[in-house]
């Protein structure tokens, strides 16, 4: 069986990249096809992969400005010749599901989300764009939206990373899917867990971009006078620093070891954004740390309300303040060790076994 892996791009580290690393352990000889690959930013993590890029890699500035080349993406994926492969597994949140495979080949798409800027977040992206870009977005996105719907029809089997994503696949693509929960990036080791003591601060981690709503965490901790550690970088970093009070501490980029230590030390982890899955709450819980999360999206499937964390129902500062106060007064039901045990149900080993079994099952169905 010849296997190929496909992902939208490889330019920064996130949940999709952790997924790829685990697939590589299942299929170590499978080449990886990506739109573009930024070797410098990805470091050594993918150095042993056979990585193959589209023609956009060769366009001057294509690696850095790939998002501006959205209209070229469908054609770039369709130009790839994948006819030698029996099984193709795509990791998709954008256009890579549009690859073309042999009639008898199996294409399994692990969908992190239906393409946000084509569907439910289109109007938000449009509002954030300058007037000229916004003017041209509507006709361009209209055509790309139709292509995206047709591209979804080329997939043989969809896997959703959460039940929340599963509903969105059904809504926008009219396709059924199976759920295999995404794997957390790094888990706190037993040694770190045993040796690190809790400290009196809240923590939030991730790319500092608008929809993740780090502004809510900062403003809530400003209002309460609580210490908050913010780990991550992104295009909203300057704006977030402007609204931060004296109890807010920005750490910028941190190594995996530093992040895991903070997970283990923090009093609680704040997760104010709406995510399709969101692996940082799982990582935080691996340190025995409760999660205070917005009660929508993937968090509903990774955090147990009242047991391993608490939910706030509205994406507002006042709702988050109220939830933090409740946590301060009541805590959560499970202790540190029990929270860690729960997080281990999302382990990489479980993910790899489920993915392997799923692929074999679908290949056998095709043969029969």
In order along the chain (368 residues), what is the average pLDDT of each group of 10 residues? 96 86 95 96 90 96 91 96 97 96 96 87 72 75 92 97 94 96 78 88 93 96 97 93 96 91 96 89 94 94 96 97 97 95 88 94 82
Q: Are residues 260 and 363 in the same domain?
A: no
Q: Are residues 10 and 88 in the same domain?
A: yes
Q: Are residues 74 and 143 in the same domain?
A: yes
Token digits of residue 253 = 């980029």
Q: Are residues 148 and 15 in the same domain?
A: yes
- At 12 the pLDDT is 85
Q: Are residues 205 and 276 in the same domain?
A: yes
Looking up tokens 């149900």 gives 345
Q: Are residues 159 and 236 in the same domain?
A: no
Q: Are residues 298 and 357 in the same domain?
A: no
Token digits of residue 242 = 């402007």
- At 368 the pLDDT is 64
- pTM assigned to the model: 0.82
What does the chain come to in residues? Answer: 368
Q: Are residues 358 and 315 in the same domain?
A: no
Angstrom distance (rounded) from CA 68 to CA 62: 9
Q: Are residues 28 and 62 in the same domain?
A: yes
* CATH number of the domain residue 54 falls in: 3.40.50
Q: Are residues 219 and 239 in the same domain?
A: yes
Q: Are residues 159 and 269 in the same domain?
A: no
Q: Which of 170, 177, 161, 168 is nearest to 282 (CA)?
A: 161
Domain extent, residue 103, equals: 3-183+348-367
Q: Considering its fold, how many domains does the chain have in total?
A: 2
How far is residue 115 CA from its own chain's centroid?
A: 13
Angstrom distance (rounded) from CA 106 to CA 78: 16
> What pairing do the DSSP bridges indicate for beta strands 177-179 and 157-160?
parallel
Residue 140 contacts residue 71 (beta carbons within 8 Å): yes
Q: Are residues 154 and 127 in the same domain?
A: yes
CB atoms within 10 A of CB 225: 9
Angstrom distance (rounded) from CA 222 to CA 205: 17
């Amino acid at each position: 069986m010849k296997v190929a892996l496909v992902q939208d791009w490889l330019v920064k580290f996130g949940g999709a990249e952790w997924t790829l690393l685990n697939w590589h352990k299942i299929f170590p000889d499978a080449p990886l096809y990506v739109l573009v690959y930024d070797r410098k930013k990805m470091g050594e993590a993918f150095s042993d992969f056979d990585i193959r890029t589209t023609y956009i890699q060769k366009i001057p500035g294509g690696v850095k400005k790939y998002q501006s080349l959205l209209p070229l993406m469908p054609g770039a994926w369709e130009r790839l010749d994948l006819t030698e492969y029996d099984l193709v597994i795509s990791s998709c949140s954008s256009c890579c599901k549009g690859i073309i495979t042999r009639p008898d080949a199996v294409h399994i798409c692990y969908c992190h989300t239906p393409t946000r800027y084509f569907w439910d977040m289109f109007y938000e992206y449009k509002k954030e764009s300058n007037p000229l870009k916004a003017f041209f977005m509507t006709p361009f996105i209209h055509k790309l939206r139709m292509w995206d719907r047709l591209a979804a029809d080329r997939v043989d089997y969809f896997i959703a990373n959460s039940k929340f994503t599963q509903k969105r696949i059904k809504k926008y693509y009219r396709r059924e899917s199976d759920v295999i929960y995404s794997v957390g990036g790094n888990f706190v080791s037993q040694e770190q867990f045993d040796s690190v003591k809790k400290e009196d601060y809240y923590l939030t981690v991730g790319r500092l971009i608008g929809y993740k709503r780090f502004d809510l965490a900062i403003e809530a901790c400003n209002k309460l006078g609580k210490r908050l550690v913010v780990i991550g970088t992104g295009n909203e970093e300057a704006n977030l620093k402007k609204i931060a009070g004296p109890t807010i501490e920005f750490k910028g980029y941190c190594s995996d070891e530093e992040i895991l230590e903070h997970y283990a030390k923090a009093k609680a982890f704040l997760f104010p954004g709406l995510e399709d899955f969101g692996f940082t709450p799982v990582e935080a819980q691996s340190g025995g740390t409760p999660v205070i999360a917005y009660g929508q999206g993937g968090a509903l499937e990774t955090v147990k309300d009242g047991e391993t964390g608490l939910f706030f129902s509205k994406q507002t500062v006042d709702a988050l303040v109220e939830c933090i106060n409740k946590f301060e007064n009541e805590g959560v039901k499970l202790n540190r060790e029990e929270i860690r045990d729960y997080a281990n149900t999302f382990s990489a080993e479980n993910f790899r076994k489920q993915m392997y079994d799923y692929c074999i099952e679908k290949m056998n169905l095709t043969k029969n």
